[in-house]
Amino acid sequence: MHDTSTWRVGILVLAFTATAWAGNPSATELLDADGAPSDLFGRSVARDGDVIVVTAPGDDGVAGALGSATVFRRDGSAWVEEATLVSSAPGPSGLFSTDFGFSVDIDGDVIAVGSRDYAGGPSSAGAVSVFRHDGAGWVEEAFLTGTAPQERLGWNLEVDGDQLFVEAEGADVIRHYRWNGADWVAGQTLAPGGPVACDGDRLAIMSGQIIEMYDEIGGVWTASATLPLPNFGGDIDLDGDVVVTGNILAAGPSGIASGDAVVFRFDGATWGTGQVLEPAGGQAGDSFGSDVAVDGDTLVVGAFRDDVGGAINGGTVRVYRWSGSTWVETQTLAAPTPSTNGFLGREVDLEGEEVLAGAPGQLVAGTSTGAAYLFDLSPGPWTNLGGGTAGSAGAPDLFAAGTLQAGAPTLVALRNAPPGALLLAWISFAPTPFPALGGTVHAFPFANQFLLSASPEGTYETTVAWPAGVPPATSFQLQLLVQDAATLHGITLSNGLLGVAP
């Protein structure tokens, strides 16, 4: 006899919703040990592996310098402050701010920090300090300066291997530098300029209402495509075949300056039409799109003026997952204790399942020194059990994301099915796995099964509403049988998923 308790029926009935789920995963707070009011710690953030850099352009407490960058290194499960970086040429005495730390990036042993208002030469010509870890510590190896008044070199920058790209906002160009083993040598000047992102031999520059794509051919960056935007773009990121830009001023359905983001994917021939992302429940003035980051099938977008938990302008970060055919909003991140004018999401970075977000106005012990937060998306309730078998479109890949908390929608998606294939979804609460079709059936015996169908692109996706009253630690298995006439048995198996309620 089937258990017909309300919560179990709720799991078996896949109720559709259209809202994203909120609630933070575990968050690590990064602070400046010597933080002071208005330091703007968290204004810019960057990460590469076990090293994180967080800037404080308002810091004036380090040997009279104007602005600083704090380096953290992972030590086991903790992030330990390793160094505080300042410019060797902070600017004329008495200058209010050079904005050292307005921008930052890291790649391997190289950190670049922008000072867009540096005026050691022409007024606001800007500068970039380049630091390298020599095995013992971080050493400034280059100080690159703008040459004209109001050039503002260092407004935005990107380090990728032995190449450095720096936006000179006032001149509307990108200055390119290449490391020759001894020095950073000026290379091409790319115009028009704007926020820039690089991944290997591909470069993206956001300029106005276009993204200009470049390929490196024989050591020369050559324009390869122009991607039109529905609105003026902003910060940009690039990972392989995916490029995304945000626009905080876009006036979508949510109102003026609610913001949006636009994502393009390269299919091997063209970049196609961009998908416009607008946050569920967004409001006018949220500034969604303040910064963006993409890594594989995960994308994050900052909304640094989003009101959250009663905190005006507390800021949030929205998380999106690629379903195989579209980007789906799955989560909203906020500071554990949001502050009014905390501005979380002013800048973001993403590596794997960890999201780094700056909150330059965050209250710390009652003082607005700023903070940065590292959110770990991976400790979730889902485990991939494997057991799938290869089909004509590859191994059907079943994916889920969600907290399995009452009222919180969960994304369930399948990709790599034949176009329009019939799908049989199985759910089991007391599984006895057995081998079949060269894989493993995990969701057996079936508590229920559903007949579904794949899209013309060979994908399926839905949002499952998680019911109330589910006992803690309740587990279930989910798996799909996929019609595939091109295979020996005419069917294939997806991988199995184990879900465990918190």
**Which has more pLDDT, 440 or 256?**
440
DSSP per residue, 311-329: BTT--EEEEEEE-SSSEEE
Per-residue pLDDT at 321: 87
User: Rg (Cα) of the chain, in Å, rounded?
Assistant: 24
CATH 2.130.10.130 fits 197-353+366-376, yes or no: yes
**Measuring CA to CA, which residue among 70, 76, 74, 73 is closest to residue 56?**
70
CATH 2.130.10.130 fits 28-194, yes or no: yes
Most confident of the ranges 30-39, 72-81, 324-333, 373-382: 72-81
Mean pLDDT over 389-397 rounds to 87
Half-sphere exposure (Cβ direction) of 232: Cα atoms closer than 13 Å: 6
* 15 band by pLDDT with thresholds 50, 70 and 90: very low
* 14 band by pLDDT with thresholds 50, 70 and 90: very low
Per-residue pLDDT tens digits for 452-485: 899 898 888 887 777 778 888 888 889 999 999 9
Per-residue pLDDT at 323: 78
Task: Return the percentage of the chain with pLDDT > 90, whole number.
Answer: 58
Per-residue pLDDT tens digits for 147-198: 999 999 999 999 999 999 999 999 999 999 999 999 999 999 999 999 999 9
- In 286-393 the beta strands, taken as DSSP E runs, fall at 288-295, 298-303, 316-322, 327-333, 348-351, 354-359, 371-376, 382-386
Mean pLDDT over 35-54 rounds to 96
Mean pLDDT over 404-432 rounds to 85
Query: What are the respective helix, strand and coil percentages of the chain, to the nearest 5?
Result: 0, 50, 50
DSSP letter for 154, please.
E
CATH code at 6-17+382-500: 2.60.40
Whose structure tokens read 């290869």? 390
Q: State yes or no: pLDDT of 92 exceeds 60.
A: no
Strands 409-415 and 439-441: unpaired
**Which has more pLDDT, 282 or 82?**
82
Per the prediction, the chain carries an average pLDDT of 88
Q: State yes or no: pLDDT of 2 exceeds 90.
A: no
pTM (predicted TM-score): 0.78
Per-residue pLDDT tens digits for 207-251: 999 999 999 999 999 999 999 998 887 899 999 999 999 999 887
**Measuring CA to CA, which residue among 106, 56, 52, 64 is closest to residue 88?**
64
- C-alpha 227/C-alpha 250 separation (Å) is 17
DSSP letter for 11, please.
H
Any idea where the domains of the chain sit in the sequence? 6-17+382-500, 28-194, 197-353+366-376
Query: Are domains 28-194 and 197-353+366-376 of this chain identical in fold?
Result: yes
Instruction: Please report, for residues 11, 50, 391, 427, 438, the alpha-carbon distance to residue 445 in angstroms, rounded to integers and kept in the order given.
Output: 16, 44, 24, 8, 19
